[in-house]
Structure 1
Amino acid sequence: MDSGPQRKLALAGFINQLGTAAFLATVPLYALRVVHLSLGQVGLGLGVAGVVGLIAGIPAGHLADRHGPRGIYLITLLIQALSMLSLLFAHSLWSFVLAVTVTDLAGSSGGAARGPMIRRFGGDEVPKFRSYLRSVAMLAGTFGAMAAGAVVQIDTDTAYRALILGNALTFIGCAAVMCRVPKLEPLPSPVETGRWIALKDKPYVMFVVLDGIMWIQSEVLSYALPLWVVLRTDAPRWFVGLAIAVNTVMVVLLQIRTSRGVTGGTAAGRAIRRAGLVFVLGMSVIAMASGVPGWVAVTIMIVGVAVHTVGSLWHAAGSLELRFRLAPAHAQGQYSGVFGMGMGLCYVVAPSLLGLLCVTWGTPGWLLMGGVFVVVGVAMPYVIRWAGRSRETADAPA
């Protein structure tokens, strides 16, 4: 497989994630400072956009399967650029909601359309390629967060508007790179295949449900830990930045290496099962930081963050292998849409769930959430075997 398309996909993803990360970190403040919405209105608007955005992935993925993924992806990038520019002219709740909702709809659609390109350009090394893309996205997210921090520090209307404009330009830049990626023709589908086969694939849907629960782990360090540090420990607040830095460096350096050997359903199931066990260990360590001196809390939580990140490396390797392996080649876009819906639901549920368990309940909540990850990890290999049997039955001669 020619590595040229892989490099271009990675570059386009870096540009896209750079702007998106900066935007997501500042959009609440933009709505408060520039659009002059109330805190409740901001939460309502972003919540509506997030939920509505979940519905777009499956039909957009189906279009990508039938008409080619690159063209659909380019359309979604241009829509995001326009909707982001429209946010500069939002002066009411409904104009803000419309802009962010269209952005989320197009973003979800773009993720589904990008999936088939990752699968087909990845060739026989999809796990390695997808891990590389995750490392690139993490690096871009870090730079985006730094840009957001600078804007928040300046804290003027002009600074926030400049960031919005910059994010719109990243969509255009991403589209410019994608125009240089070779066009992929749709793959023929079996005659007897129905239109919405991904939603009818019960083993895959169960995999998405369990995996969506497991992806809540990605919010443990970005959402629960900062609140835990500030509200329930004596650790200095700068530790939040250090924890994110440790997590980012480990993912960038180790994700590709961790993914080696995670090929096939059995290996992926084992990786996710190990991840569940590691998560409960890491979260148990983090929970021990409450009620101890600040420097002890920092030491304890550094260990906990590192252990948790090891679990996230294994989970990502297994999850992203199964995302593509369990989906038929001719319907990668539609299946990517279902997968994206599972991850989207995770991000909708995670803040409230982690806030209740890890922050409000304290140590018992950390242990309970870790126990949920263990249960999901143990269940995953059984779902994978179910998926394997269903595919063998479907492929068997009549």
Structure 2
Amino acid sequence: MSEPSRGERARLLAALMARFFGSGFWAPLQVLFFVRIAGIPTFTVSMGLTVATVVGLVAGPFIGGLADRYGTRNVGVGVFGFAACASATLVLVDSVPTFLLAITLISIGRGGQAAVSGALVAAVAGDSKLDFRARVYSMQNLVMTIGPVFGGLVLQADDRRWYMVAIAVEVTACLVACLCVATLSTRPTALPKAEHASASALRDRPFMVVSGLSGVLVLFDAVQTVLLPLWVTQRTDAPRWIISAVFIMSSVIVVAFQRRVSAGTEDVGVGARVLRRTAPLAVIALALFFSASYTRDVVTIALLLCGLAFLTWSEMCFAAGEYSLSYGLARDERHGQYQGAFAVGVGLGSAAAPPVVTGLCLGLGPAGWAVLASLLLGAGALVPAATRSASAAIAASRETTRDQQSQSDPV
């Protein structure tokens, strides 16, 4: 099997960037589209999106298992093509049943994309997969910043025709990704069908413990996206433009430094220590944000910007550690299943983060901030031990596989 070329990596990067642009473009529009244009009740939209997200997360490992069995390129083309068709169903949404159908199909497509994208990176980037994944994450931040700018034009127009254009952009992004993935080389099926178990990654308890701890650590993400805008406008005297400034600043920092933070995390022990670092950095950011409610003018702005710097550093450590452990703790030749399974813990944490973070920090006051900090620090402290347990399970599995192969070899 030939070593993946630089051109293949470029084409995979183009596929993922197209996908991220489509997601960034549509994400700020979807709720308003369902509520204002399709006429779906707000509570129904909220609950429907939550349930559909869980369905997509559960589907991820099974779709990843198909990639392990039938080839990442082949299943990747199918998944991105399915995502395009699923997004196209948005034009049909005019009632609760059609809404539920559309978002369920879309969520299944997203769950499959998370698993297959991780497997594609493992297949195409080879030994450089962590550095390549860090590069993807850096570019993702850039593209996900550009997408909402164009989405804002649709929000300003607030017209059904412009929402249809936005849906067309999302469908096109999926199709571009599909075509780019189709140009990748076909590689032999990695996992023999006789050894295939579609949900084996979900039954790998040590691995899922690491995934679950990562799901707790990812609570920090809602601090910037949900809590900070509310905190700045309701509890500080900072100008509202600071909200946009911190998002731009965060993206610039990630683009500039993510690959440096990820350097050396090929070893899972190093990856675990980097992931653990997520917690104290996020707690420092929380302390600075909380302090900003007791200051004024320039001091408030300085505290918010310093807090954002620590929170972004925390984000980069999380990404580096997540990539290191999701790949390093995966069973050989089963990256599709394992990338999908790791996304379950992180995805559930991301889904729970907005209500948990706002409920604690805005609902309980200082005690809530302390509870959030304790959750982060507790999860971070457990990561190294959980990683050692998962590593031991992998070593035992590989030893068993070698013994079985030696016994089956002819004398």
**Which interval holds the TM-score relative to the shorter structure?**
over 0.9
1:43-54 matches, within 5 Å, as: 43-54=46-57
Matched, 1:7 2:45: no
Relative distance call for 1:327 and 1:390 in structure 2 (3 A) is: same
| Preserved contact between residue 221 and residue 353 of structure 2 (Cα < 8 Å) | no
Among candidates 292, 298, 311, match of residue 295 of structure 1? 298
Relative distance call for 1:180 and 1:305 in structure 2 (3 A) is: same
Among candidates 101, 124, 128, match of residue 104 of structure 2? 101
| Preserved contact between residue 14 and residue 136 of structure 1 (Cα < 8 Å) | yes
> 1:201 aligns to what?
204
Relative distance call for 1:66 and 1:158 in structure 2 (3 A) is: same
| Preserved contact between residue 86 and residue 109 of structure 2 (Cα < 8 Å) | no
> 2:67 aligns to what?
64
Give 2:183's aligned amino acid. Answer: R
> 2:314 aligns to what?
311
1:239-278 matches, within 5 Å, as: 239-278=242-281
Which secondary structure state, in structure 2, belongs to the residue aligned with residue 25 of structure 1? Answer: coil
Give, in angstroms, the shift of residue 193 of structure 1. 6.7
Paired with 1:346 and 1:153, the residues of 2 have a C-alpha distance of 32
Matched, 1:135 2:138: yes
Q: Which runs of 5+ in 1 are unaligned?
A: none
84-93 or 297-306, larger mean C-alpha shift: 84-93
Matched, 1:338 2:341: yes
Among candidates 148, 151, 154, match of residue 151 of structure 1? 154
Paired with 2:220 and 2:6, the residues of 1 have a C-alpha distance of 32
Paired with 2:297 and 2:154, the residues of 1 have a C-alpha distance of 30
Give, in angstroms, the shift of residue 92 of structure 1. 0.7
Give, in angstroms, the shift of residue 192 of structure 1. 6.3
Paired with 2:180 and 2:32, the residues of 1 have a C-alpha distance of 30
Paired with 1:179 and 1:49, the residues of 2 have a C-alpha distance of 28
Matched, 1:221 2:224: yes
> 2:351 aligns to what?
348
Give, in angstroms, the shift of residue 195 of structure 1. 4.8
Give 2:185's aligned amino acid. Answer: P
Q: How much is the aligned-residue C-alpha RMSD, in angstroms?
A: 1.7
> 1:120 aligns to what?
123
Paired with 1:249 and 1:175, the residues of 2 have a C-alpha distance of 28
Give, in angstroms, the shift of residue 368 of structure 1. 2.4
Give 2:380's aligned amino acid. Answer: G
Matched, 1:84 2:87: yes
Which secondary structure state, in structure 2, belongs to the residue aligned with residue 338 of structure 1? Answer: helix
Paired with 1:104 and 1:193, the residues of 2 have a C-alpha distance of 25
| Preserved contact between residue 130 and residue 266 of structure 2 (Cα < 8 Å) | yes
Q: Which runs of 5+ in 2 are unaligned?
A: 404-411
Identity %: 27
Which secondary structure state, in structure 1, belongs to the residue aligned with residue 92 of structure 2? Answer: coil
Give, in angstroms, the shift of residue 190 of structure 1. 9.7
Paired with 2:228 and 2:326, the residues of 1 have a C-alpha distance of 28
Give, in angstroms, the shift of residue 115 of structure 1. 1.6
Q: How many equivalent pairs are there?
A: 398
Cα deviation per residue 1:338-370 (whole Å; 9 max; x = unaligned)?
111112201221111011112222333233212
Matched, 1:211 2:214: yes
| Preserved contact between residue 287 and residue 362 of structure 1 (Cα < 8 Å) | no
Paired with 1:65 and 1:191, the residues of 2 have a C-alpha distance of 12
| Preserved contact between residue 234 and residue 291 of structure 1 (Cα < 8 Å) | no
Paired with 1:71 and 1:138, the residues of 2 have a C-alpha distance of 27
Give 1:364's aligned amino acid. Answer: A
Which secondary structure state, in structure 2, belongs to the residue aligned with residue 55 of structure 1? Answer: helix
Paired with 2:374 and 2:274, the residues of 1 have a C-alpha distance of 17
Give 1:360's aligned amino acid. Answer: G
Paired with 2:250 and 2:388, the residues of 1 have a C-alpha distance of 32
Among candidates 183, 187, 202, match of residue 184 of structure 1? 187
Relative distance call for 1:120 and 1:39 in structure 2 (3 A) is: same
Paired with 2:191 and 2:376, the residues of 1 have a C-alpha distance of 38
1:379-390 matches, within 5 Å, as: 379-390=382-393
Give, in angstroms, the shift of residue 328 of structure 1. 1.7
Give, in angstroms, the shift of residue 47 of structure 1. 1.9
| Preserved contact between residue 118 and residue 336 of structure 2 (Cα < 8 Å) | yes
Relative distance call for 1:175 and 1:193 in structure 2 (3 A) is: closer
